[in-house]
Amino acid sequence: MQDVVPIKVYEYLAMGKPVISTALPGVMKEFNNENGISYVKDPIEVLKKALNINIDREGEKARKFAASCDWSKITSEFEQQLENVTLTNQSK
């Protein structure tokens, strides 16, 4: 599963906490670059990014994004993906 999105990312965003993450495919796909998340390539970049982040601005972006997410939307999308996989496997 390359598109893993840890639930804690949603929790941090809902609290208005900017997130610094490695560039995990699932996280990048789900949150893009404008939703309170900054991406780094290696651990050394984390401190540089943390020292330069605008907590208020990024925190507000995080809260707005988290407010647009709810469990019904997330589970509906997940169910649709499962149905697509099931139908694809049945047609083989």
pLDDT recorded at residue 87? 87
pLDDT recorded at residue 14? 92
Let me know if residue 72 belongs to a domain.
Answer: yes
The amino acid sitting at 20 is I
pLDDT recorded at residue 56? 92
Range of the domain at 61: 7-90
Q: Sign (positive/negative) of CA torsion 54, 5, 33, 63? A: negative
Distance CA(4)–CA(29), nearest Å, equals 10
Residue ranges in the chain whose pLDDT is less than 50: none
Indicate the number of domains in the chain.
1
Let me know if residue 1 belongs to a domain.
Answer: no
pLDDT recorded at residue 44? 86
Let me know if residue 79 belongs to a domain.
Answer: yes
pLDDT recorded at residue 2? 62
Let me know if residue 2 belongs to a domain.
Answer: no
Q: Which pTM was predicted?
A: 0.67
Residues shown for the chain: 92
Let me know if residue 19 belongs to a domain.
Answer: yes
SS3 (DSSP) at 70: coil
